Amino acid sequence: MTPLSTLRVQFNADYTFAHAKRDVPAFVALGISHLYASPVWTAMPGSTHGYDVADPGTVSDVLGGEAELRSLHDQLAAQGIGLVLDIVPNHMGNGEQNRWWQDVLRRGAQSPYARYFDIDWNGNADVPAGKVLLAVLPEPLADALARRKLSVMRALSGEASFAYDGARWPVAPETSAIAGDARAASDWQDVLARQHFHLTHWPLARDALNWRRFFDISSLVAVCVERPEVFEAVHALTLRLFADGVIDGVRIDHVDGLVDPGAYCRKLRAALRERANGRTAGRNKGRDRRRDKGRNSGHEPWIVVEKILMDGEHLDPRWETDGTTGYDFMNDVGALLHDSRGAAALDAHWRTSTGDMRDFGEHVCEARQQLLRERFGSEISRAVGALARLIDAHGRARDFGVASLRRCVCALASSFPVYRGYPRHSENSDAEKAIFTSAQAGAKRLLHPLDHAALAQLVEWLTPTEDPSPLRREAQIRFAQVTAPLAAKAVEDTAGYRWGRLLSRNDVGCDASRLAMPLDVFHQANAHRARHWPRAMLTTATHDHKRGEDVRARLAVLSEIPAQWGEAVDGWRAENERFRAHAAHAPDVAHELMLYQTLLGAWPCEWTGTRPAAASLRAFAGRIAQWQRKALREAGVRTSWVAPDAAYEDGCGAFLHEIMADPAFVASMQGFSDALAPAGALNGLTQTFLRLTCPGVPDTYQASLGWDQTLVDPDNRRTVHVDAVMSRLSGSGDSMAGQHRQDPQVWRSLMARWWDGDVKLALLCHLLHLRKSLACAFAHGDYVALRAHGPCEPHAIVFARVPPAGSGAAVLCVATRHAAHHLGATGGSAQRTQGTQRAEQAHRVPCFRPQDWQDTAIDASPVSRTGRWRNCLTGTAIGASADGTLPVAQILDALPVAVLTEA
C-alpha cells in the first residue's frame, strides 16, 4: 500500500519498539498513514543508527526483537497505520558480531561466505594473494609485537582469536594449535603469515585495501548483493516481513553503491511481489480467482531509493521504483525560499572577506582531487586494475600505460557531474553520453595533452553500451564505485564545509551553486513529479541532513537582506578579533563566517525577545562546538579526521566559547536573531506546507515536529518521544489536536506565540489529516500552477491539486515567501535592535498583514466551478470578486498558508 504520509523515527537503545508502541496514540493524533523506521536489523554493539548491520537475518534484540516488531505492527495496524523499513543492501559492519565476515577471516577463500563480499583474492603489491587486508592496528605491527600488545585468547568452544586491546580476530583453524606458542616477534610473524588476513597499521587501507567498503569507512564492508545467494541471505527477513503483511514497503539505502542499481531494484520488486502473492495464494486457496487477483494487487510494494540527483539528472523509470527519498524536493523547496537578488552581494561579501575567488564547482573539483590522493587510493587502484585487464585484451591500447590511465581515471572522476554512470544492457541514452562528454571536457583541463589520447580511450570504454564485454562492464562498474562515494564525500562533506556563501544551500542533495529557484521552475518540477513520480517521497529534513529544516529556512532570509548581514558580520569580526588564537590563526576567516551563520540559524526560537540564561547558553555552545569540530575536520583544510590538528581545533573551540561568554556579542546575535526570526518562521511554515501539499508522499522527520534547529549528526539524531511532543497540543487550551478545529482565532493565538513551535506542529497535524480527507486530490491529483496578480505577486505561491475526473473538486493551495522586508527583518547592530524596536520585531506575527497584500488577488478560474471557496484551515468562506479573482488578503488573514476547497 502506498503511504499517504510517513513519520521517520530513529530506533536505537534509547527509542525501542516498546517506546514506539507507547507512542501509537500520538501517531494517530498526528495523522500519518505510515511509520517509517530506521534499519531494524541486528547491528554492531552500541549502534545509534543501524546502518552498521551485523546480521540482516535477525531483528535487533536491542530494539526488542522480531516478536516486538510484529507486536508494534499489530498495534499500528489496529489504528490503520502501516510500516515502512529502511534497508541496507550495500554494506555491513565488519566487527566481531558479523559471523559472515569473521568466517572469511578465519577460513579465507574457502569460507562459504567468501563470495558474499567483494574481495580481490589475487593480492597486490602490499597484500599477499589469498589474504584479506586487515588494516586496523593503531600502530605499526612491528611496534605492537615489540610492546607485546598482541595475544591469543580461547573461547569456551575452543576457538582461538588474536587480541589487541578490545579488538579480536579469528585464528585460522589449521594454526590454532601453534598460535598460543608464539613468544618472540619472529614467532608471531610466522603465525600471522599463516592467517587468511594481513594484519597491518590502519593507514594502509587508504591505498591497498583489497575489498570494497562503504565510502572511505573501513569498518563497513560492502556485500555482493548482485549474487543470487547473497541477495537471498540479505533479504530473507525483509521478504518474510512483507509477505506476512508486517511492512508495506522499503527505503533502499545508498542505492548507488550497488553494482547495477536498476537490476537490483527490479529484482527486489519482483521478489517482494512473489513472496506476498505466494503467501496470499496459500491463504486464499480455493477462493474466487478474481477476488484473489484484487487482493494480491494490494500487496504491491512501495519502494523508494536514496538517490542524489545532480545537474538536471532524472531517476530512470526502468528501475521500477516509486521514486527517490526526496532530496530533490528538499533542494527545490529550499531554493524557492531564497531571493536570487541577494546572490551577488552574498558572493561579494564572501570573496572580499576570505579572499577566495573560487566558485562552488571549483571547490568540488579540488575536493575530489584531494580525496582521491588522500583517501580513495584503494578504490582507484581497483578501477585501474580493471582497466589494465582491458588493456591486455586490446593491443592497440597498450601504448597508453597503466600510469597514464590512472591519471585519466582521477581526472575524469574529479570532473564527473553526477554520482555515477549505470552500465546496462540496453542502448545507452543521450543523457549518459552527455555526462561522460562533460566529464571528459573537465578532465582534459586537468591533464597534460600527452594524456588526452588515453583519456579518449578511457571515456570510450566507460560510456555505457548496448552489450559490453565482461571486461568492459567490470571497468564501468569499478569506475562507478569510485565516483559515487567520491561525489558524496566531496560535495556534501568537504566542499560544503569549505565554501560558505550561504549555508542554507549547502546540504545533502542541494545544488549549492544555485542560490534560488524561480517560481515557474518550481511549478515545472512539481508538474513533472505529478506526471511521473506521484508516489516519490518528499522530505525537507532527514537523519543525514547537515542543518535542520528550520535552520535552512531562517538562513534563507539572509538572501533578502545581504547588506544588513554583511554589516553585522563585519562588526562581529572586528569586535571578536581579540578572541582569536593568533598563534594558530584560529579560526580562519572562512570558518569564522560559517560559524556566525550556524549560530544565527540554530539560535533557539524560544529565546526570541528574551535574554537566554547562562546555563542555556553553555548548553547551546556545547552543541555548536560539536558541530564545529566535525565541520573543521570534514573541510579537511586545516585539520581532518585522519590527521587532526589539535592546536587549530582547540583555538577554534576557545574562540567559540569566548564569544559565547561575551555579553555584547550574545546581545548582538540575539538582536539580529530577533529581527530575522519572524521571517524565518514564515519560511518554516511555508516549507512544511509545501511538503504536505505538493505531489508525492510527504515524510516528516522526527526532529521536525516543532521547530527543527538541529545540526549535523549526532545532533539531528537525538531521541524524540512523539507522545511528549503531541501532548503539548492536547494540553493546550487552544489545541488543534484531536478535533482539528477550523477556527481563525485559534490559529491567531498560536501565531501570536509562534516561537514555541506549536503553530508548526498544529499545521502539520491539520494538513496530515486533511490529506486523508482529500486523498483523491493529494495522492492522485494533477498539479496546476496558478498565478497571483498585483503588487505582491512575487510573494505568493499558488497552485491547485486537481483530482481525476469525477473524483471531486480541485484543491487550491496558497503560501507566502520572501517576507523579510514586510516583517521588519532589517537586522543590523545590537544598538539598532534594543528596547522597544527589538521587542516589536521579535514578536511580529510571521504572516503578512491584510494591508500588506494590498489588492493582490489570485486567478482561480482555470480550476474553479462555482467561485465559492472555503478555507479548510480556518473555515472562512471566500467568494470570488466581480472579476472572478480571490483576494489574497482574505485567504491569508490568519496564517501565511491556506488550503481552499470549493463550496
DSSP assignment string, 486-545: HHIIIIITTGGGT--S-GGG-STT--TT-----HHHHHHHHHHHHHH-TTSEE-S--TT-
CB of 76 closer than 8 Å to CB of 35: yes
Sign of CA dihedral 748, 752, 755, 756: negative
* Helices and strands, counts by H and E, the chain: 33, 27
- Assigned C-alpha cell, 831: 544598538
Q: Which pLDDT score, from 0 to 100, does residue 739 have? A: 47
Strand partners, 448: none
Strand partners, 500: none
Q: Which residue, among 243, 361, 353, has the nearest Cα to 299 in the 3D structure? A: 243
How far apart are the C-alpha atoms of 223 and 211, rounded to whole Å? 10
Q: Kindly give the interhelix angle for 360-374 and 402-414, rounded to the nearest 10 degrees.
A: 140
Q: In the 8-state DSSP scheme, what is residue 864?
A: -
How far apart are the C-alpha atoms of 732 and 741, rounded to whole Å? 13
How far apart are the C-alpha atoms of 610 and 613, rounded to whole Å? 9
CATH number of the structural domain spanning residue 578: 1.10.10.470
Q: What is the pTM of this model?
A: 0.94
Q: Does residue 708 lie in a domain region?
A: no
Q: Which residue, among 114, 115, 116, has the nearest Cα to 196 in the 3D structure? A: 114
CATH number of the structural domain spanning residue 34: 3.20.20.80
Coil vs helix vs strand at 77: helix
Shared domain for 382 and 429, answered yes or no, is yes
Q: Does residue 778 lie in a domain region?
A: yes
Shared domain for 106 and 243, answered yes or no, is no
How far apart are the C-alpha atoms of 841 and 148, rounded to whole Å? 67
DSSP string for residues in 753-787: TGGGSHHHHHHHHHHHHHHHHTHHHHHH-EEEEE-
Coil vs helix vs strand at 31: coil
Alpha-helical segments (H) within 843-887? 850-853
Dihedral (Cα; 730, 732, 734, 739), 10-degree rounding: 10
How far apart are the C-alpha atoms of 103 and 379, rounded to whole Å? 24
Residues 6+ apart with CB under 8 A from 296: 276, 277, 280, 281
Shared domain for 302 and 364, answered yes or no, is no
CB of 459 closer than 8 Å to CB of 436: yes
Q: Does residue 352 lie in a domain region?
A: no
Q: Which pLDDT score, from 0 to 100, does residue 410 have? A: 98
Q: Does residue 302 lie in a domain region?
A: yes
Helix, strand, coil share (%) of the chain residues, nearest 5: 50, 15, 35
Shared domain for 686 and 733, answered yes or no, is yes
| Edge-first strand listing for the sheet containing 537-538 | 323-324, 302-305, 249-252, 82-87, 34-37, 6-9, 697-701, 537-538
CATH number of the structural domain spanning residue 198: 3.30.1590.10
CB of 684 closer than 8 Å to CB of 554: yes
CB atoms within 10 A of CB 551: 29
* Bridging pattern class, strands 217-222 and 91-93: antiparallel
Q: Which pLDDT score, from 0 to 100, does residue 432 have? A: 85
Shared domain for 172 and 271, answered yes or no, is no
Shared domain for 115 and 73, answered yes or no, is no
Upper half-sphere CA count for residue 702 (Cβ side, 13 Å):
24
The phi and psi torsions of 878 (rounded to 5 degrees) equal -135, 120
Coil vs helix vs strand at 120: coil
How far apart are the C-alpha atoms of 268 and 250, rounded to whole Å? 10
Q: Which residue, among 27, 96, 39, 86, has the nearest Cα to 63 in the 3D structure? A: 39
Q: Kindly give the interhelix angle for 402-414 and 452-462, rounded to the nearest 10 degrees.
A: 70
**In the chain, what is the straight-line distance between the N-terminal and C-terminal CA atoms, in Å?**
31
| Domain extent at residue 733 | 547-553+679-694+718-902
CB of 757 closer than 8 Å to CB of 889: no
Sign of CA dihedral 274, 271, 85, 421: negative
- Chunked into runs of 10 residues, the chain (903 residues) has average pLDDT values of 96 97 96 98 96 98 98 98 98 97 97 97 94 97 93 86 94 85 78 96 96 96 98 98 97 96 97 83 49 48 97 92 98 98 98 97 97 96 93 78 93 96 69 92 97 94 86 95 96 96 97 97 98 98 97 98 98 96 92 98 95 96 98 97 96 97 97 96 98 98 97 95 88 50 90 96 96 96 97 97 92 98 71 51 85 95 93 95 92 97 91
Peptide bond just before 744 cis, omega within 30 deg: no
How far apart are the C-alpha atoms of 55 and 37, rounded to whole Å? 17
Place of cell 522499503: 250
Shared domain for 369 and 386, answered yes or no, is yes
Strand partners, 119: 211
Shared domain for 472 and 593, answered yes or no, is no
521-548 burial by CB neighbour count: b if 16+ within 10 A, else e?
A: ebbebbbebbeebbbbbbbbbbbbbbbb
- Give me the amino acid identity at 590: A
Sign of CA dihedral 864, 870, 871, 872: negative
How far apart are the C-alpha atoms of 857 and 836, rounded to whole Å? 34
Q: Which residue, among 707, 720, 711, 680, has the nearest Cα to 761 in the 3D structure? A: 707
Shared domain for 83 and 112, answered yes or no, is no
* Bridging pattern class, strands 868-871 and 898-902: antiparallel
Q: Does residue 684 lie in a domain region?
A: yes
Coil vs helix vs strand at 239: helix
Upper half-sphere CA count for residue 312 (Cβ side, 13 Å):
6
- Assigned C-alpha cell, 408: 585519466
Number of domains within the chain: 5
How far apart are the C-alpha atoms of 839 and 844, rounded to whole Å? 9
Shared domain for 197 and 128, answered yes or no, is yes
Residue after which a domain boundary falls, among 220, 246, 279? 220
Residues recorded for the chain: 903
Surface-to-core class of residue 107, CB atoms within 10 Å of its CB (0-12 exposed, 13-18 middle, 19+ buried): middle
Query: Which whole-number Å values give the CA distances from 806 to 538, 776, 779, 809, 884, in the listed order?
Result: 27, 10, 15, 8, 24
Shared domain for 576 and 447, answered yes or no, is no
Q: Which residue, among 71, 72, 47, has the nearest Cα to 60 in the 3D structure? A: 47
CB of 530 closer than 8 Å to CB of 493: no
CB atoms within 10 A of CB 14: 12
CB atoms within 10 A of CB 825: 25
CB atoms within 10 A of CB 433: 14
Q: In the 8-state DSSP scheme, what is residue 803?
A: P
Strands (E) across 518-674 are located at: 537-538
Q: Which pLDDT score, from 0 to 100, does residue 296 have? A: 36
CB of 27 closer than 8 Å to CB of 726: no
Shared domain for 759 and 737, answered yes or no, is yes
31-69 burial by CB neighbour count: b if 16+ within 10 A, else e?
A: bbbbbbbbbbbbbbeebbbbbbbbbbeebbebbbbbebb
Q: Does residue 519 lie in a domain region?
A: no
Peptide bond just before 587 cis, omega within 30 deg: yes
Rg, the chain, Cα only: 29
Upper half-sphere CA count for residue 378 (Cβ side, 13 Å):
27
Q: Residue 220: which H helix or E strand, with range?
A: strand 217-222
CB atoms within 10 A of CB 357: 9
Residue after which a domain boundary falls, among 168, 201, 220? 220
Q: Does residue 529 lie in a domain region?
A: no
Q: Residue 789: which H helix or E strand, with range?
A: strand 788-789
Q: Does residue 541 lie in a domain region?
A: no
